[in-house]
Amino acid sequence: MRSFHLAFSLIFLSLVACQQIQENGLPMAVGLALSSPAAKTGCTKLVATNIIFQSADGGQTWHDISAGLPEGLQAQRFFASDDGLFLGAENGVYRSSTTAVTPVWDKEISLNPHSNIVSAGQAGVFAVNYSGGFFQKLYNTDIWMPMFTDFEEHSIHSVFEAKDGALFIGCENGLFKSADGGKTWKHVVEDGWVIHIVESNGVLLCTNQGGILRSTDGGGHWDLVISEGGVGIAVEVIEGGFAAITYNTESETRRVRTSTDGGKTWQVIDAGLPPSMLIASIKQVGKYFLCGHPDGIFRSADNGKSWELLKPSIGKKVFNLSVSENVVYAVAMDGGC
């Protein structure tokens, strides 16, 4: 009789675990091995795959580090820092240590469940809800502090902190700047949305609805430096300058360019890439340029004169790339956004 009750209990626990996996993507209850009677229920642990990959050799080889994330997770933003790997998704932010041999992903449950925009700040990592609501995780702590509670704009795309401490918030209604730690804000770009912002050697660049904008006075005033009829897709800091991706309405493709004079002039480096409307990202790792393309991940060893395909795409996903300490992370996202 005791054996009957034990077997029944194990089967019941297994059924509960199965339901948790299907509904929440939670790991199977500890102690229910496949060799146990619970295995006969047909419940198997779902392992996430093909969400995020890692390369430590300049993109030559890739390791899938998705295990531990919910199966079928729709990734939206990714950020790598000394404080960890942060993956923004439709249901929140997931974090893993950068020092773990095999990343272990934990959901940041103290955040608003819809927070998915992550970026770096001098004091810690920012997490933002698109509809408003800002948090900052202090470095070397697990504390997320509410920030900018008086900021009234919504449709938030990004938060950026410049080297001089100035703060910028990019949103659907342009770009806002604060020089006093977020107490007051000035509307510095009013024409079109702003998403990505970077800084190098006193020059700021941002993506805008009209193309790529540039500022040399700390973000007080901005000039359009790349305008091809379409929007700005990405801006990146590279060795000796910047890289950018924009949409060209005449060719109906996204174009990839670099600048070595602080963003004043730009050179096309995409002649060897298959033309596409969905090129997502451009990064530099050592002597290589890496490009996230609908066909997969391409690499150039000659500053964009020629490109080789290193990793094919997965279905209709496009890899968005991120680099930290010469380690490259590739996140499969819908449509290259």
Per residue in 225-261, pLDDT (tens digit) is: 999 999 999 999 999 999 999 999 999 999 999 999 9
Residue 189 and residue 213 in contact, taking contact as beta carbons nearer than 8 Å: yes
Per residue in 82-127, pLDDT (tens digit) is: 788 999 998 899 999 887 777 789 999 888 888 888 888 888 899 9
20, 66: one domain? no
Q: How many domains does the chain have?
A: 2
Residue 232 and residue 225 in contact, taking contact as beta carbons nearer than 8 Å: no
A 10 A CB-CB count for 316 gives 11
> Is residue 42 predicted with pLDDT exceeding 60?
no
110, 32: one domain? no
Per residue in 272-296, pLDDT (tens digit) is: 999 999 999 999 999 999 999 999 9
pTM for this one? Answer: 0.83
27, 123: one domain? no
76, 10: one domain? no
37, 88: one domain? no
How are the residues of the chain apportioned to helix, strand and coil, as percentages rounded to the nearest 5?
10, 45, 45
Render the burial of 128-158: b for 16+ CB within 10 Å, e for the rest: bbbebbbbbbeeeeeebeebbeebeeeebbb
Q: Render 259-325 in DSSP notation, one character per residue.
A: ESSTTSS-EE--TTSPP-S---EEEEETTEEEEEETTEEEEESSTTSS-EEEEE--TTEEEEEEEET
Expressed as residue numbers, the domain containing 4 is 1-46
d(CA 224, CA 205): 10
Average pLDDT of every residue of the chain: 86
> Is residue 163 predicted with pLDDT exceeding 90?
yes
CATH of the domain at 313: 2.130.10.10
Per residue in 179-192, pLDDT (tens digit) is: 999 999 999 999 99
Share of the chain above pLDDT 70, in %: 85
Residue 283 and residue 321 in contact, taking contact as beta carbons nearer than 8 Å: yes
A 10 A CB-CB count for 308 gives 11
Residue 130 and residue 155 in contact, taking contact as beta carbons nearer than 8 Å: yes
